């Protein structure tokens, strides 16, 4: 049986580190770090994420300021808000919650954020610094995954790592961070031929695809470490029966609630093959918010 890599416990450790960092600033007579969160429109999932982020800020002593805009806000108004926040000396970090409503250009918004306040680490300047291996604000999810692996003593040097997914938010930066730590990295995606065989080569498999239970137990090399970034809601009973065949508890939750959250990896199957696996929920999810707050503190400290 694999070890479960408990993301919630590690997020608590990371948040405690941030809380102490905030306290140290206050002891030096500095104000609390300030995070501005821009929420456009009524996407229910985004509202939940923003609520969770505000609660986490309160827990560590970061001031969070929410800016809500209507779904039909013109891009120029969003630009103007970002410009104002860029110039505001009390704002250390700016987060534009994605996805933006139709009609708004998210790249344009993200590129407008000052790189020094880009706590999501999505600005091309910060992505470039990461590419060069220089310090900067780095994307929260892969940074937090790296922190989890380090905490559990996973020695990445020379390891065969496969990153499944090549988004700018997770897959690409994750691959760069693994490379920086001397792993031998393969990035796989929707055009990769014989994906199961590619995954089976991995000593470390990171799945960031957004396809529930796509990675089967037979895709995992025995003894591999598996990090499951995917967060998917399963509502189809046929799919649930297939991907939770080795997870009676999950199937029970599905049957009682009619839907359940799961990752890109079949957790029950992975537990029988891998040496360590992150669960969903309770794995990478809580780590991402902790990574965001760590970035906010970093931005405040300059
Ligand atoms: P994107 O949709 O931006 O990227 C998905 C990637 O997966 C793409 O590179 C795509 O390939 C690849 N892909 C899609 N289908 C397949 C397939 N059938 N076979 C192989 N590769 C495939 O997603 P994100 O990176 O933003 O997110 C990925 C997952 O992680 C989602 O479930 C998301 O909810 C979750 N997530 C979780 C976070 C957390 O805090 N835990 C934070 C961020 C994301 P191609 O490029 O060829 O299209």
| Structural domain spans, the chain | 31-114, 140-285
Does any ligand 1 atom lie closer than 6 A to the CB of residue 301?
no
Does any ligand 1 atom lie closer than 6 A to the CB of residue 196?
no
pLDDT for 146: 98
**Two domains, one topology: 31-114 and 140-285:** yes
CA of residue 253 relative to chain centroid, distance: 25
Q: Whose CA is nearest to atom 35 of ligand 1?
A: 230
Q: Is the peptide bond before 95 cis (omega within 30 degrees of 0)?
A: no
pLDDT for 264: 98
Tokens of 104: 């708004």
Cα separation, 156 vs 203, whole angstroms: 9
Q: Mean pLDDT in runs of 10 for the chain (302 residues)? A: 97 97 98 98 91 95 97 98 98 97 97 98 98 97 97 97 97 98 98 98 98 98 98 96 95 95 97 98 95 98 94
pLDDT for 155: 97
Cα separation, 186 vs 198, whole angstroms: 8
pLDDT for 7: 97
Q: From the CA of 284, give the closest atom in ligand 1.
A: 41
pLDDT for 246: 92
Q: Which residues are catalytic?
A: 53, 97, 120
Q: Which class in CATH covers the domain with range 31-114? A: alpha beta
Q: Ligand 1, from 208, 231, 263, 294: best to mutate by most atoms within 8 Å of Cβ? A: 208
- CATH code given to domain 140-285: 3.40.50.720
Contact 235, 258 (CB under 8 A): yes
pLDDT for 40: 98
Query: What is the distance in A from the centroid of ligand 1 to the CA of 90?
Result: 34
Q: Looking at the whole model, is its pTM more than 0.75?
A: yes
Phi, psi for 231 (deg, rounded to 5):
-130, 110
């Amino acid at each position: 049986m694999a070890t479960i890599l408990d993301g919630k416990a590690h997020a608590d450790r990371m948040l405690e580190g941030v809380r102490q960092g905030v306290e140290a600033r206050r002891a030096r007579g500095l104000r609390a770090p300030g995070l501005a969160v821009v929420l456009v429109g009524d996407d229910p999932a985004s509202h939940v994420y923003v609520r969770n982020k505000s609660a986490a800020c309160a827990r560590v002593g970061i001031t969070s300021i929410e800016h809500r805009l209507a779904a039909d806000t013109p891009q120029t108004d969003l630009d103007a808000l970002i410009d104002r926040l860029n110039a505001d000396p009390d704002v250390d970090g700016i987060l534009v919650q994605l996805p933006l409503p139709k009609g708004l250009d998210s790249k344009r918004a993200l590129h407008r954020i000052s790189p020094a306040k880009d706590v999501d680490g999505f600005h091309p300047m910060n992505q470039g610094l990461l590419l060069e291996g220089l310090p900067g604000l780095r994307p929260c999810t892969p940074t937090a995954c790296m922190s989890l692996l380090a905490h559990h003593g996973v020695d990445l040097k020379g390891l065969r790592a496969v990153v499944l997914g090549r988004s700018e938010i997770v897959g690409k930066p994750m691959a760069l961070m693994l490379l920086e730590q001397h792993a031998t990295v393969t990035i796989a995606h929707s055009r990769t031929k014989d994906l199961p065989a590619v995954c089976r080569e991995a000593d470390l498999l990171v799945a960031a695809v957004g396809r529930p239970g796509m990675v089967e137990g037979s895709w995992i090399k025995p003894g591999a470490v598996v990090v499951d970034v995917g967060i998917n809601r399963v509502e189809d009973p046929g799919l649930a029966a297939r991907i939770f065949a080795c997870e009676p508890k999950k199937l029970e939750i599905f049957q009682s609630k009619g839907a359940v959250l799961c990752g890109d990896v079949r957790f029950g199957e992975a537990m029988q093959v891998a040496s360590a696996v992150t669960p969903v929920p309770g794995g990478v999810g809580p780590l991402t918010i902790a990574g965001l707050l760590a970035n906010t503190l970093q931005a405040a400290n300059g």
